[in-house]
Each structure stands twice: as C-alpha cells, then as structure tokens.
Structure 1
C-alpha cells in the first residue's frame, strides 16, 4: 500500500485507541501506530492470525495482512456500535458470542496471554453479520509492564467517560496523565 497515507483522512476515520488510529481503505483498514506498543500489538495480531489459520479458526479473526513500522493493514469488519458513546464488555449471555468464540477467548488467554478479550471495541461484524475479533494483540504482560507505566507518565492516553468540554456529550475521552486538563473528545479535536 504505497499510498496508505491517502486513506488516513477524516472521512475514512473509524476509531482511535491509546496506541493506534484506524482508517478504512475499502475492504481493508489501516492501523496507524501512534506508539511502539501499537506496532507490537499489530505484530502479535499477525502471529495470532497465522496460528488461527493453521488451526482452522481464521474466520473468527480479521486477517492481519501486513505490518510495517508505521502502520498495519487488516481486513475490514464493521465495528460494533457504541452504547452511550462508549465500548462495553460482552457478557457470556450475549447471543453474538457463540461457544466457539468462548473457546477462542480461553485459548487466546491461555496460549497468548491476551488481554481485554470481551471489550466490544475489540470485535467487529463480518459480511455475514458474524462477530469476529478485530483488535486482539494486547497481552497482559505488555499491558502491565509497558502500557500502564506509559499511561501513568502521560505518554499514552487512558480512556475516561466524561462530558466533553466542547460538545457537552458524555463519552469516552482520551486523557494523558493526571495533569491533562483538555477534556475534549476526538470528534471535537483531541488526538
């Protein structure tokens, strides 16, 4: 994708996390690495996808196609809708989570040390309306040893649910350390 930056525009924007920003590029997404941890997550997703492909579970995962230092390319899946402008945890009773999903969540936890596996922001819907993993590269070890210290230092954002000081809507805000007073949402200009 020589022209990958051309897709990284406001009209193609899908979402932002603490370490990656995602844009749609047709039937693919571009995950721009905002922090080295984002690159590590993308590499982990590529590894997991390759293992799941060998095990015959690739249809449950958005394929991580390419990973470069600045960005990664993944197959597109429609993001799940937010509830009250925020993500939420999927419960075992959620009809979209099949027994296969629950088995894969356990496998990811045990074999890959995966973290935050039931957050709705980590899932999308494929073309058949089936739930698939789209963000599955964070490990518990990386979260505890790398992400938490960086977030505590204000180098990467934590997500807070508060009213945006610009639009006034209560939603997820990106907060960089305890001294960050900019309480605007992404839509109102905060990166």
Structure 2
C-alpha cells in the first residue's frame, strides 16, 4: 500500500480525503496513512526534519509517541494517521500536562524535552500538532518545525504575506468564529478554509 501511495499520491489528494491544512503543508488521509503535500519549501524542510527526528528518536527508543515518518520527497511526506484532536471553540489550544493528564502517554515529558533540547523543535504543545492513538493517548504528528527555521525563514515570509499566519476571527462568508489563514497585514480576505480560502 505504501508504495502505491508514493507512486500515485496525487490521485489520493481529493476533498473527501482532506484532513487539515497548515501554513506550509496540506494533509490527506489514505487508509492508515497521511500524505502531507508540501505547499512551500518550508513544508519540505519540515518533512525532512520529521524523518530525521523520527529515525534518531527510534534509535534512542523514544519514538513511541511520534507519528512514524516513512517517506519524504520534494512534493510529499507520508506518516501514520492518527485521529486529530477536536478544536475547542473552533481553535487549537496548548496541551497542559495537568488539564490533559488523561491524554498524556508514558515518556511524554522525556520526549518533549529531548525534542526541545536536542532537535530544536518548536511549538510542541499546540493541540493541532497531535493526534490520538487507539488507546486515546497523544501522538505527536507535526514535529518538523525548528526554532531556527521558524525565526529565520517562516517569520520573515509570514511578515511579507508569502506564508499565512493563523488568526482566530469571524469568517466573512459563514460568520463562524474560527481559525483563518491570513497572508500579511494587508490581507482583507477573511474567509475560512471551508468557505474557499487556502
């Protein structure tokens, strides 16, 4: 199945398989996998980093709460699929070890510290970066952004309006308050993804 997805990935990236979208990658579910389509070179760099991080953490015996990254090329990466966490009031939130203790797997803090200190990983506690395994425990699905990549490349591109920032505002079309993709200070298109804005 994996080889089939790699060779024909574009045929699987349809609206009915859509899972989510970030500033640099768009995600589709195929069977027990996700295809992360790179929307920008920063998305490719994040995917490359996820592959590197997963392999290193696997060697240390610390990969059990990371979504396995199988494959990366210029266009896509492929990982295991985990059910995304539901939004609260249409927005993501920070994972808190106290409030969300029922979701926290063994080794959670050990893995988070390792990713922070040895891999420069950024934004590790945002709920949108996690899924749930079959036991209802957190699995980190998005762990490719580093502090250096964020500060040196993502922020300048976001400030120029070339990459979207996520704001919690009312959509001008459906009227719902939700996370909107906004391209710089001069972007007046306040529609959500469901209403057609990518």
Which category of TM-score, normalised to the shorter sequence, fits these structures? Answer: over 0.9
CA-CA distance at 1:129 after TM superposition:
2.0
CA-CA distance at 1:49 after TM superposition:
0.5
CA-CA distance at 1:25 after TM superposition:
0.7
Give the aligned partner of residue 80 of structure 1: 85
Structure 1 unaligned spans of 5+: none
Deviations 1:149-173, CA, capped at 9 Å, x for gaps: 0000000000000000010000000
Give the aligned partner of residue 136 of structure 2: 129
Q: How does 1:10-21 map to 2 (within 5 A)?
A: 10-21=15-26
Task: Say whether 1:157 aligns with 2:164.
Answer: yes
CA-CA distance at 1:99 after TM superposition:
5.4
Give the alignment's Cα RMSD to 1 decimal: 0.9
Q: Which runs of 4+ in 1 moved over 6 A?
A: none
What secondary structure, in the 3-state scheme, does the structure 2 residue paired with 1:59 have?
coil
Task: Return the match for 2:44 from 39, 62, 70.
Answer: 39
Task: Say whether 1:29 aligns with 2:34.
Answer: yes
Task: Return the match for 1:67 from 72, 75, 80.
Answer: 72
Is 2:105–2:137's contact at 8 Å kept on the other side of the alignment?
no
Task: Say whether 1:90 aligns with 2:95.
Answer: yes
Alignment coverage as a number of residue pairs: 191
Give the aligned partner of residue 154 of structure 2: 147
Task: Say whether 1:169 aligns with 2:171.
Answer: no
Deviations 1:97-154, CA, capped at 9 Å, x for gaps: 2451111111100000110000001110112322111000000011000000000000
Give the aligned partner of residue 111 of structure 2: 104
TM-score, normalisation: structure 1? 0.98
